[in-house]
Amino acid sequence: MRNDFLIFGSVNSADYNVGIYGDKLFNAPEREYTKYTVPGHDGDLVIDNNRYKNKNVVYHSYIAKDFPANMDAFRNALMSQTGYQRLEDTIRPYEFRLGIVKPFDVEMVGVLKGGTFDLTFECKPQRFLKDGEKVLEYTANGTILNRTQCNAKPLIRIYGSSSGTVGIGAETITISSISTYVDIDCEIMDAFKGYTNCNGNVSFTDDIILKPGKNGVTMTGGITKVEIKPRWYIL
- pTM of this prediction exceeds 0.85: yes
The conformation of residue 131, written as its DSSP 8-state character, comes to G
d(CA 88, CA 98): 9
Q: What is the DSSP string of 41-60?
A: SSSEEEEEEEEE--EEEEEE
CA dihedral for 106, 108, 109, 112, sign (positive or negative): positive
Residue-range domains of the chain with CATH: 6-125 (2.40.30.200), 131-234 (2.60.120.860)
Per-residue pLDDT of the chain in tens (235 residues, 90 and over written 9): 568 999 999 999 999 999 998 767 778 899 999 999 888 888 888 999 999 999 999 999 998 888 888 999 999 999 999 999 999 999 999 999 999 999 887 766 655 577 888 999 999 999 999 999 999 999 999 999 999 999 999 999 999 999 999 999 999 999 999 999 999 999 999 999 999 999 999 999 999 999 999 999 999 999 999 999 999 999 9
